[in-house]
Amino acid sequence: MVDGFEWNNWLPIKVNIFGWRVTLNRLPTRNNLARRSVSIPCLNCPLCGEASESVEHLFTSCFVAASLWHMVSVWCKIRTIVAFEVKDLMHVHRYGSLNAVKRKLIQTIILLSCWCLWKAKNDLLFSNKQVSIPKILEEVKAREDEREFSYEKASGKGPEEWGKIHKEWSTCNNGKMQSPIDLSNYRVDVVHKPKKLLRNYKPCNAILINRGHDVEVQWEGHAGSIEINGTIYSLKQAHWHSPSEHTINSKRYSLELHMVHKSIDPTSKHQIAVIGVLYKLGKPNPFLSKLGRNITSLVKQDNEHRHPGVIDPREIRMSCRRYYNYIGSLTVPPCTEGVIWTISKKVRTVSLEQVQLLREAVHDHAAKNSRPLQPDHKRDIQLISP
């Protein structure tokens, strides 16, 4: 507890500091700026225009805030949040018959909602982006999903607890086709007649995003696709885990890249296909070198996203001549199963500095962001080797 603010270790430092400033009425609202003799043409709240923009008004009585709290209450299945003061808002999680985990979850959502509401207001002022309450809630949900789980065992929300956090995540604990797994020689079937794995990537505009537990390249348009057994999967994003999640003959590598694809056919049996590339320490990776300046910006400026422009996925340079193939799952909640995994057998190199940069950019203070190995449950695992 700091100056009446309850610190939340599920959230990054910047969100906690923001919540603390909200509690102490230290945000640069129009009201507060006017008190500091800053010339403000209009003191009215930019969201509703009905009252002076104070911290109390912005987060409690503004109709945009009130609507947001109603939607949050419905989503969280709690009594409608009614706050007359900021203090009421910051203490919502303390009331009612909630267990400790649910209380912390509610506090997390309240703080994230305040953060996203403030961000939406600034986007309106400085970028003329219209405010949409459903979109604010969507952003809160996206951030909450990332902050709600951890890779640290002692955190109370580590990998062994993922399936207990949400009923929708129960597959993380009781699924029978989970990833990652060990790709062991004695478990794989060597296939000398290769399956068709056709790649057709192309340059496309992309965004570099800090998702809370990893750094992601998200392509904004059509960056190409792969074809697996006649089904086309469109490339959506790529992200990194360190150390590697998959192991080969029990050997864990320094880094693993996942290229995530989505089927263009909504009726196909397998909707998601992921290509994995493993890296050992050595020469710098050229693809990461090109992104280095933008990733550094995520570290130094604590930005959440960057716009590096066009990124060519062909520069990832994975080799799919020899690769492992099996059916698994997403390695983060909700741990959805039925994912086609293709793991390149060729191990690339990455520098220690590049691995460290990816971890520093995330700001989650965790030593790693890789899920522990999961039982293979005697699944079919193939090594395609022409």
Q: 18 or 11: whose pLDDT is higher? A: 18
CA distance 96 to 103: 9
Find the mean pLDDT for residues 350-358: 95
pLDDT tens by residue, 79-122: 888 888 898 888 887 777 777 767 888 888 999 999 999 999 99
Contacts of 132 (CB under 8 A, 6+ apart): none
Least confident of 115-119, 151-155, 182-186, 344-348: 151-155
Mean pLDDT of 168-180: 96
The residues with which 261 forms a beta bridge, in sequence order, are 235, 273
373: pLDDT strictly greater than 90: yes
Distinct helix (H) and strand (E) counts, the chain: 11, 16
Question: Tell me, what's the pLDDT at 146?
Answer: 63
- Residues comprising the chain, all counted: 386
User: pLDDT value at position 290?
Assistant: 94
- Choose the weakest-confidence range: 34-48, 138-152, 165-179, 215-229: 138-152
As a whole number, mean pLDDT of residues 329-342 equals: 97
Residue given tokens 């009585």 in the structure block: 61
pLDDT at 296 over 60: yes
User: Residue 305: its pLDDT value, please?
Assistant: 78
Going by pLDDT thresholds of 50, 70 and 90, the confidence category of residue 2 is low
Q: Of all residues in the chain, what percent carry a pLDDT higher than 90?
A: 64
Nearest in space to 90 (alpha carbons), one of 101, 99, 81, 98: 81
Please give the helix or strand (H or E) that residue 235 lies within, else none.
strand 231-241
Instruction: Please compute the mean of the pLDDT values over residues 338-350 and round it to a whole number.
Output: 97
Residue 11 confidence (pLDDT) above 50: yes
Query: Once rounded to an integer, what is the mean pLDDT over residues 362-375?
Result: 82
CB contact at 8 A, 277 and 316: yes
Mean pLDDT across 246-253: 97
pLDDT greater at residue 50 or residue 193: 50
- Tell me the torsion sign for CA atoms 341, 346, 350, 356: positive
- Tell me: pLDDT of 9 over 90: no
The encoded tokens of residue 346 equal 């060729």
Name which of 226, 231, 243 is nearest 323 in CA terms: 226
Residue 302: its pLDDT value, please?
45
Q: Does 239 participate in catalysis according to the annotation?
A: no
Q: Which residue has the tokens 């507890």?
A: 1
Arithmetic mean of pLDDT, 257-270: 95
Per DSSP bridges, beta strands 204-210 and 305-311 are antiparallel
In this structure, are residues 280 and 347 in contact, taking their beta carbons and an 8 Å threshold?
yes
- pTM (two decimals): 0.70
Q: 192-195: long-range contacts (C-beta < 8 A, 24 or more apart)? A: 192/385, 192/386, 193/386, 194/384, 194/386, 195/228, 195/229, 195/325, 195/384
Query: Quick one: pLDDT band at residue 363, thresholds 50, 70, 90?
Result: low
User: Per-residue pLDDT averaged across 258-270, rounded?
Assistant: 95
Choose, from 70, 166, 192, 213, the residue flagged as catalytic.
Answer: 213
On the CB side of 84, CA atoms within 13 Å amount to 0
C-alpha span between 143 and 113 (Å, rounded): 10
Side-chain half-sphere exposure of 313, counting CA atoms within 13 A: 32
- 257 within 8 A of 240, measured Cβ to Cβ: yes
pLDDT, mean over the chain: 89
Distance from C-alpha of 145 to C-alpha of 332, rounded to nearest angstrom:
10
On whether the CB atoms of residues 179 and 245 are closer than 8 A, the answer is yes
Reported confidence tier of residue 24, pLDDT bands at 50, 70, 90? very high
pLDDT-derived band at 77, boundaries 50, 70, 90: confident
Structural domains of the chain, with CATH? 13-148 (no CATH), 177-384 (3.10.200.10)
Residue 62: name the closest of 44, 79, 74, 77 by CA.
Answer: 44
